Amino acid sequence: MREIKASQIVEVVKKLCIEANYNLPDDILKGLKIRKKEEKSPLGQKILEDIILNAEIAMQEKMAICQDTGMAVVFVEIGQEVRIVDGDLEEAINEGVRLGYKEGYLRKSVVKSPIERINTDDNTPAIIHYRVCRGDRLIITVMPKGAGSENMSALKMLKPSDDLEGVKRFVIETVEKSGPNACPPLIVGVGLGGDFEYAAYLAKKALLRKVGERHQDILIARLEEELLNEINSLGIGPMGLGGTTTALDVHIEVYPTHIASLPVAVNLGCHATRHATFVL
């Protein structure tokens, strides 16, 4: 049994909160540069150029890419042979978020109650997803999720008779309705299958996959490509001001489902779909 101190987790989460908010992942930055060359609209090209410049300045100057530094979504993969000592895992994660947002000068955006709207003043609590797996490693991924793209996300319980066409229609309609509000170019995460809450989890997890990386299933990979082409034909363009780059990529994650269900969730990631990972 391998022991990991809670204090180590605090330090890792703190650093990941800062790193994710300062540094756009390489695959997204590369995707933006490729799309800038392919963009048909001169205004769209200029906006993409500004987005790239903004990301580069944030990285060099060590400052937040966006003023909305998000609610901290934390994915934890914990090996069965790992034991957390000298503290509580969840408390350690939240303490890491608390310190990261304070020391990184990141905006605190979390309110204690969705009704009373009083700020917690430290961006906690985080949204934490746990997965127990084999081995003796602890893998932590922090995704600061901004409200602009999150607010335009959607879930629908389709009927099996809606079939693949119904899935495609719902994904495209969700992106079309979002217009400029989700800050395109987007990464479109789609969760297909499972049940009501698991489809939403899959959609969010899909945003972690690298831009340009296709699903292992050929049929799903083909669907990702098809949806990407159709979304980029909508004409929404960078920041909603027109063009051929509405999305950088579409990522679909699937899971078995009930014979009477066809759950579909769409989680939109803005042009700054930030995340950072560390392995303990």
**DSSP letters spanning the chain:** -EEEEHHHHHHHHHHHHHHHHH---HHHHHHHHHHHHH---HHHHHHHHHHHHHHHHHHHHT--SSS---EEEEEEEEETTEEEESS-HHHHHHHHHHHHHHHTT-----BS-TTT--B-SS--SPEEEEEEESSS-EEEEEEEE-HHHHHT-EEEEE-GGGHHHHHHHHHHHHHHHHTTTT-SSEEEEEEEEE-HHHHHHHHHHHTTSPTTPPPSSHHHHHHHHHHHHHHTTS---GGGSSSS-SEEEEEEEEEEE-TT-EEEEEEEE-TT---EEEE-
pTM over 0.85: yes
Write out pLDDT tens, residues 19-73.
999 999 999 999 999 999 999 999 999 999 999 999 999 999 999 999 999 999 9
Domain with CATH 3.30.360 in the chain: 2-20+65-145
**Does domain 2-20+65-145 bear CATH number 3.40.50?**
no
CATH class (in words) of the domain with range 148-273: alpha beta
φ, ψ dihedrals at 85, nearest 5° = -120, 160
Instruction: State the pLDDT confidence band at 18, using cuts at 50, 70 and 90.
Output: very high
Indicate the average pLDDT of the chain. Answer: 98
How far is the C-alpha of 190 from the C-alpha of 201, rounded, in Å?
A: 9
**Residue-wise pLDDT tens digits, 168-208:** 999 999 999 999 999 999 999 999 999 999 999 999 999 99
Confidence of residue 269 (pLDDT cuts 50, 70, 90): very high
